[in-house]
Chain A
Amino acid sequence: MSIVPKETIHVIAQSIGISNLHDDVAAALAPDVEYRMREIMQEAIKCMRHSKRSVLTTDDVNTALSLRNVEPLYGFASGDPLRFRRAVGHSDLFFIDDRELDCKEITEAPLTKAPLDTAVMAHWLAIEGIQPAIPENVPIDPLSAPPEVKKSDIPGLKPDQMTVDLKLPVKHVLSRELQLYFEKITELIVTGADDVLLKDVFASLATDSGLHPLVPYFTQFIADEVTRGLNDLPLLFSLMRVARSLLLNPHIHIEPYLHQLMPSVVTCLVAKRLGGKNFVNHWELRDFTATLIAFICKRFGHAYYNLQTRVTKTLLHAFLDPKRAMTQHYGAVKGIAALGSKLVRLLILPNLEVYINLLLPEMSSQDQANELKRYEAIRVYGALQAAAGNCIYEMLQSAPPSKKKPANNKSQSTTRKDVDGDASMHEEDGADDKDEGVKRRRRALSEAWKEDVEVGDLINSLVDLFGEGMLPFIPMREMSKCIL
């Protein structure tokens, strides 16, 4: 009935020397004990409130007891949390674990450090209602960063002017703390600290206010280290994370330094060789960098209107140049895919057929003896599939296909298995029909960028190119609307 079980009353009675307490007495006392305890706790909470705390301490309980003219409980003055132990043999009886201390040990122990004395610090919480970005204040809410300021920064600063500006021997006033911070961070990045520490580093870079003076140094650092450490994959990864953290930091106006940052980032996406030795997992780095580039374009596209066009131009060049290595193609495809389905439709799909035809020999074991190169080609193939699938998915999401079905799509989707047998394939329901369909689909691919393109046609042509392996890349529900 009561929170305090009568066993507790028995135990307390025994502890003060009453061994033969009657069960009824214990049962009658239990609810009253509970009531008194609640009363004391309420008084204690009152004391806690007047001490302007939100944590109840043993002191509060003692003050409450003295308010009720009860002798306080001695021996609970230490700030350590009490250790409760379960009594053996009882399921819900607890006692405090009191350790025996040896006085000699205590007296002979070296003196502990004196606790720091109370002190007062003063700082500006706000100046005319605006919180200054100083370490004493909470990092400002990212939403409150005024976008107007950023914009006004950009127009005057053309990239080439900026480099000139930076190279002038301007004496920067960099506080000692910031210098130390920079040195520490760069050291950690270069030497490759453990993951936990690095995580903290990135978190600090992404949230701390007042890092702005360090931005030029960090961009320079990233540029230098990327060119120096192309063979060091963990380093490159860390550097890209640094770049990402800086971009995420709401207190930094990184736009003037983007031009310096971009080449390094693009390098990490479409470099021929990243991480030196073969079979290093540089794919992951490329994937990460691709999302990073997409993030930059999305966030700063409005300020740097030609940012995205320049990036896509670089990527497209890499993609369309058959002399480039497969790794570069992979990076380019990933980069374009990350920038959105519009660009995939505009840049990849129209070139897809030609490209696949070039890619297929690289993939087959007869034509390409080099195991590694074949693997690379397969990665590119996969990237293309994913890009196309995603693109279709988004198209279906935004505009469901019209009801009109291509006449022969059912047979195609079920019978077409051979990838490269496109033209040579003969079907029972008539070659004319099929030829017409092929043309139509080719047209669909090359005109994929148009707004009114038929999604069903696109899908069919993709299935033509990729085979049924394409299907899992498109969610079933959407596809069922237009294929089945």
Chain B
Amino acid sequence: DNEAGRYKESYSKLRNWVHSSLDLYKTELLRILYPVFVHCYMELVAKGFAQEAREFFQSFRDDHQPQHIRDLQKLEGVITPQHLQENETACTLQENKVHVKMCQYSFELLLQYLQSTESMLMLGIVNSHINLKAVLPGQPAALVDDDESSSLPAKVQAVVEATNQKEIHWGILEGSLEDKFEKQIAAELEKADADKDAETDEAKKRAADGKVKRVKRDKAGKGLKAEPAARSVPRLKPELTMPLLTDDFERQALDDLRNRVKLGSTALPSVSCYTFVNTNNSLNCASISADGAYLAGGFSDSAIKLWDMVKMGEPSMYSDAGKQSLNKRPTSIRHYIRLVGHAGPVYGVDFSPEGDSLLSASGDCTIRLWSTRLNANLACYKGHNYPVWDVQYSPVGHYFASASYDRTARVWSMDRLQPLRIMAGHLSDVDCVQWHVNCNYIATGSSDKTVRLWDVQTGECVRIFTGHRSMIVSIAMSPDGLFMASGDEDGAIMMWDLASSRCVTPLLGHTGCVWSLAFSGEGSILASGSADNTVRLWDVNGSSKVTADKTRRLRLLKTLPTKSTPIYTLRFSRRNLLFVAGAFSPSKGH
């Protein structure tokens, strides 16, 4: 009779048929239901059956709820044909065919069903919106493809496949601190060897106590030697002009690296927690400087507050600065410096590697540069047309990247007010950004559920990582440049192999947004901070072993709960002390 009724009828018939099919083929056939459902709904809307469309949607919504809740929420409001043209999700769905892979037999089963029941509606939808791919005449069990591929539009998938063929250089930078540190150690070892040779001649004459000493030195030498040998990370020449580091800073950084605590599954880091109190829910973001000396918070009233943790005593990283506070009574509440300049909520702050400057991204579409020495605003970078969600310094400083609501990520240098590169390609907001350790790439996470890797030199997208089920909120790069971790709104963390663009393992455990991720200095531990009030430490074990055996051990080592403090940011110091920060937000009694 009426057309609208037929949609519901044929869809529910198809659904019943799929659910009553053999278990062997059911999982494959189930994949077709969601695209058919969505397109049925959109066709109903397009034909103006608003009432019926809503009914149809409500009656089958629960089937797809667990996997596609966010898309469903976006589609739910679409009621008139006009909405269809405006809605982002609806547009992508209409423009792109969906890939569905299934084995030959399931494919034939489906075709047979569609033809025998003469459900032209369904056949039409399958024909026009779904790209059925009958792979392999073999058994369905052979298809171990993850189900997210079914929801990915075909066009996008093709792009992904093409993009991920591109070559990337994941090695760490020549002349970087790590590099210098290793060279220094190697030089010292040589020297020690030379000394030892000289010593052995003397030792022959000397008594046994000399021997003991040498044995000790031997051991120390071996320990140090083993480390650089284990990581055969290639060195790269920088593509960007690198800023010069001050001698003081370099000396100190190298000293820190020398004193770095070795972490692993048996040696867990110490965690120092900075808790913001009385924020009244207005703290949007926080950042900790590399040595933990400074703490900055970005607030929704457009102010940035800067705490100098050293001046107040307690966790003194600098011994000379600590003296001033010695005769004062130790108080745990610190005074801060208020940086005013933005005209909108501050969504992101980041310290430069040297800790002498601070960048902030705001809802007023600008990025500002602040000096922590002068406590003043130095520059204002305009370029984005919409709120800037995130800003990150490059590992060497000087360059920085920003992510915005306008669906672009931009690369800047401190001395220019215009961006150097604009990375466009994401289908939705770019929510977070992170530099690769060798500064040649940036990674961006977006609301379109993908993470992309961009070449800074060319501005091209070189990798697309698909697999997350919701908006990406945090990214971290492993220090060896091989791996990347990304955390999403649902609490899932994915480890990616940059070279192959495959997910190594999803790390599941968090129950709230993963606001922050950080690798320890030598890359053996991944720390994650989440809205569920926990810090979790994951074992991501020495990456050099991975190439040998593919069974990479990734597991949860420890969960550290806080007293109702969601963790906004976390950071390993150069000495591998983990700093975390969050706003204390007690749940109000009901």
Contacts and interface: CB of A to CB of B under 8 A. Distances in A.
Nearest to B429: A46
The CB with the most chain A CB atoms within 10 A, among B270, B276, B431, is that of B270
B11 interface: no
Nearest to A32: B80
Contacts, number: 157
A53 B50 contact: no
Contacts of B305: 118
Contacts of A35: 77-80, 83
B314 A122 contact: yes
Interface of A is mostly: mixed
A128 interface: yes
B477 interface: no
Given A52-B515, A52-B531, A117-B278, A126 B560 contact: yes
Contact of B276 (A32, A53, A118): A118
B274 A122 contact: yes
A39 interface: yes
B513 A49 contact: yes
Nearest to A117: B278
B19 to A, nearest CB: 29
B90 to A, nearest CB: 11
Interface string B272-298: 111111111101110000000001010
Contacts of B271: 124-127
Interface stretch (B94-102, B139-147, B329-337, B408-416): B329-337
Nearest to B489: A49
Contacts of B82: 32
A34 interface: yes
Contact of A120 (B275, B431, B489, B512): B275
Contacts of A128: 267-270
Contacts of B279: 118
A124 B535 CA distance: 13
B512 A54 contact: yes
Interface in B557-585: 557-558, 560-563, 566, 568, 580
A67 B278 contact: no
A122 B309 contact: yes
B561 A138 contact: yes
A50 B513 CA distance: 11
Interface in A188-239: none
Contacts of A116: 277-278
B274 A120 contact: yes
Given A2-B79, A31-B50, A52-B285, A120 B277 contact: yes
B386 interface: yes
B389 to A, nearest CB: 5
Contacts of B54: 1-2
A120 B295 contact: yes
B347 interface: yes
B473 A49 contact: yes
Interface in A26-54: 31-32, 34-35, 37-39, 42, 46-47, 49-54
Nearest to A38: B77
A125 B562 contact: yes
Contacts of B535: 125-126
B284 A38 contact: no
Given A31-B80, A128-B268, A119 B278 contact: yes
Interface stretch (A129-137, A263-271, A311-319, A332-340): A129-137
A63 interface: yes
Nearest to A136: B563
Contacts of B473: 49
In which size bucket is the chain A interface?
Answer: 35 or more
Contacts of A127: 270-271
B500 interface: no
B325 interface: no
Nearest to A37: B77
B315 interface: yes
Contacts of B363: 63
Contacts of A123: 272-273, 275
Nearest to A116: B278
B471 A49 contact: yes
Contacts of A67: 386-387, 405
Interface string A171-183: 0000000000000
B50 A1 contact: yes
Nearest to A31: B79
Contacts of B309: 120, 122
B364 to A, nearest CB: 10
B393 interface: no
B57 to A, nearest CB: 11
Contact of A121 (B76, B332, B560): B332
Contacts of A52: 283-285, 513, 515, 531, 566, 568
A51 B277 contact: no
A79 interface: yes
B74 interface: yes
A57 interface: yes
A226 to B, nearest CB: 36
B345 interface: yes
A120 B334 contact: yes
The CB with the most chain B CB atoms within 10 A, among A57, A129, A130, is that of A129
B334 A119 contact: yes
Contacts of B580: 125
Contacts of B314: 122
A59 interface: yes
B547 interface: no
A120 B386 contact: no
Nearest to B405: A67
A155 interface: no
Contact of A51 (B347, B386, B512): B347
Contacts of A50: 284, 347, 387, 389, 431
Contacts of B285: 52
A122 B315 contact: yes
A168 interface: no
A143 interface: no
A54 B271 CA distance: 25
A190 B305 CA distance: 48
B537 interface: yes
A59 B345 CA distance: 10
Interface in A307-329: none
Contacts of A130: 268
Contacts of B268: 126, 128-130
A166 interface: no
A138 B77 contact: no
Contacts of A59: 300, 345
A73 to B, nearest CB: 17
A47 B268 CA distance: 35
B79 A57 contact: no
A477 B81 CA distance: 68
B447 interface: yes
Contacts of B537: 129
Given A121-B333, A129-B557, 16 more contacts: A32-B79, A39-B77, A46-B447, A47-B345, A50-B347, A55-B281, A67-B387, A79-B280, A115-B280, A119-B333, A122-B275, A122-B314, A126-B558, A127-B271, A129-B537, A136-B273
A-B pairs with the 3 shortest C-beta distances?
A129-B268, A38-B77, A125-B273
24 contacts: A1-B51, A35-B83, A38-B77, A39-B77, A46-B447, A52-B284, A52-B568, A115-B280, A119-B276, A119-B277, A120-B295, A121-B277, A123-B272, A123-B273, A124-B272, A125-B272, A125-B535, A126-B558, A128-B267, A129-B267, A129-B537, A130-B268, A138-B561, A138-B562
Interface of A: 1-2, 31-32, 34-35, 37-39, 42, 46-47, 49-55, 57, 59, 63, 67, 79, 115-131, 136-138
Interface of B: 50-51, 54, 73-74, 76-80, 82-83, 267-281, 283-285, 295, 297, 299-300, 305, 307, 309, 314-315, 332-334, 336, 345, 347, 363, 386-387, 389, 405, 429, 431, 447, 471, 473, 489, 512-513, 515, 531, 535, 537, 557-558, 560-563, 566, 568, 580
